[in-house]
């Protein structure tokens, strides 16, 4: 298969540009991780998250792997949450991201790496606890 991809209207993106898009997405996700913004203005994070989603073409597995890599590099988990994902991309994308994070969590366990934390907030918006992804998915499945 040729390394070019047709993006409509005669625009073609080369393989090098695809790599550049992933690198740019990683940089934006690093920005979200280090400078999450004001929780009272979720649109700041949403705009950056939409840019990441566009750059990775909606591949939640790529987002999950980048989040894992950022966690290893910084010790911080990117400030993305289920509500942001739902707002930006809908329920299906939020579920896809959860499933991708679960797969990454299994890979991390197999490689004896620290589990990825997922932070929840209570009904007042205060941080409630840090729960690991496997537990979060189990709770979500039980609630469904």
With 90 as the cut, is the pLDDT of residue 69 above it? yes
Give the pLDDT of residue 1: 37
3-state secondary structure of 119: strand
Give the pLDDT of residue 26: 93
pTM: 0.69
Q: pLDDT tens digits, residue range 50-64? A: 889 888 888 889 999
Mean pLDDT, the chain, rounded, equals 77
> Which of 24, 49, 25, 26 is CA-nearest to residue 36?
49
Q: Domain ranges for the chain, please list them.
A: 5-143
Mean pLDDT value of segment 92-104: 83
In whole angstroms, what is the distance from residue 21 CA to residue 15 CA?
10
CB 45 within 8 A of CB 84: yes
């Amino acid at each position: 298969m040729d390394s070019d991809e047709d993006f409509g209207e005669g625009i073609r993106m080369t393989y090098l540009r695809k790599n550049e898009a992933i690198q740019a997405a990683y940089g934006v996700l690093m920005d979200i991780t280090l400078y999450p913004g004001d929780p009272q203005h979720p649109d700041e994070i949403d705009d950056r998250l939409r840019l990441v989603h566009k750059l990775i073409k909606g591949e939640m597995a790529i987002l999950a792997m980048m989040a894992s890599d950022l966690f290893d590099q910084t010790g911080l988990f990117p400030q993305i949450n289920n509500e942001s994902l739902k707002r930006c991309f809908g329920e299906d994308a939020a579920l896809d991201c959860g499933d991708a994070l679960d797969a990454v969590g299994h890979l991390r366990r197999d490689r004896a790496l620290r589990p990825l934390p997922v932070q929840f907030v209570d009904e007042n918006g205060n941080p409630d606890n840090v729960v690991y992804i496997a537990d979060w998915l189990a709770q979500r499945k039980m609630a469904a």
